């Protein structure tokens, strides 16, 4: 084969290598974009305090206690939250429609999460027969081992979705009561809408206060919506 006839083959191979490198760069940039978005979402991660703004066009108001609430009729739908759990099962939050759902974002690496864990289990045991379901979202644990150990250490009996990269949190609409830190806690009402949120570790007392308006008969929830 002459040098002239070999040249197109070398040219094609070079073009293929360039094309492969281009596709790899695109995939890399896409992965970085997802990671950056998740990191931006959790920029205040593992903070034991802090509040979020509200009012104006956001449709919610943050109280002096750091608990933000939205009135009935102004609540955003909770996004699809489903997948594998820390213990290998599966959960779809939509299956709990008709119940109040307490959604807690946590990580085994997070000291404030450890501080509040027993409070969540205690309150869960007290209210689970009142039409309430607790669900955790475990994030930024690179494997389920530490998360399972956390659940065992603190006696958590409610399920937690395993979300190591924060993709589930990114499903919440911006400008709504979305989780923005670890820990974050949200209350989803019986209609599947986000009614309340806090971005801080919760004492047993504050968790009960946050949940109380949405329990059983819903009368407090209706009263709150009329304010």
Mean pLDDT of each 10-residue bin along the chain, 227 residues long: 52 51 51 46 48 51 94 95 98 98 98 98 97 98 98 98 96 93 97 97 98 73 45
pLDDT at 144: 98
- Contact call for residues 102 and 211 (beta carbons, < 8 A): yes
Best CA proximity match to 144, nearest among 196, 188, 193, 85? 85
For residues 61 and 52, give the distance between their C-alpha atoms in angstroms, rounded to a whole number: 9
Model-level pTM?
Answer: 0.75
Q: Which residues contact 89 (CB under 8 A, 6 or more apart)?
A: 159
Best CA proximity match to 130, nearest among 8, 212, 43? 212
pLDDT at 46: 73
pLDDT at 217: 53
pLDDT at 58: 56
């Amino acid at each position: 084969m002459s040098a002239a006839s070999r040249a197109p083959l070398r040219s094609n191979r070079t073009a293929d290598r360039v094309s492969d490198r281009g596709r790899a760069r695109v995939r890399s940039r896409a992965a970085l974009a997802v990671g950056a978005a998740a990191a931006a979402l959790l920029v205040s991660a593992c903070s034991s305090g802090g509040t979020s703004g509200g009012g104006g066009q956001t449709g919610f108001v943050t109280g002096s206690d750091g608990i933000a609430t939205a009135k009935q009729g102004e609540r955003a739908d909770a996004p699809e939250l489903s997948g594998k759990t820390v213990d290998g099962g599966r959960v779809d939050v939509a299956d709990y429609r008709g119940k109040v759902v307490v959604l807690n974002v946590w990580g085994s690496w997070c000291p404030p999460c450890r501080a509040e864990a027993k409070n969540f289990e205690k309150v869960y045991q007290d209210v689970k027969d009142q039409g309430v379901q607790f669900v955790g979202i475990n994030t930024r644990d690179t494997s389920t081992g530490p998360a399972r150990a956390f659940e065992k250490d603190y006696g958590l009996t409610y399920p937690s979705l395993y979300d190591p990269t924060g993709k589930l949190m990114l499903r919440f609409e911006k400008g709504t009561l979305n989780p923005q830190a670890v820990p974050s806690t949200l209350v989803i009402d019986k209609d599947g809408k986000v009614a309340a949120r806090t971005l801080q570790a919760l004492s047993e007392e504050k968790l009960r206060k946050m949940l109380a308006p949405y329990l059983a008969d819903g009368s407090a929830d209706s009263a709150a919506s009329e304010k």
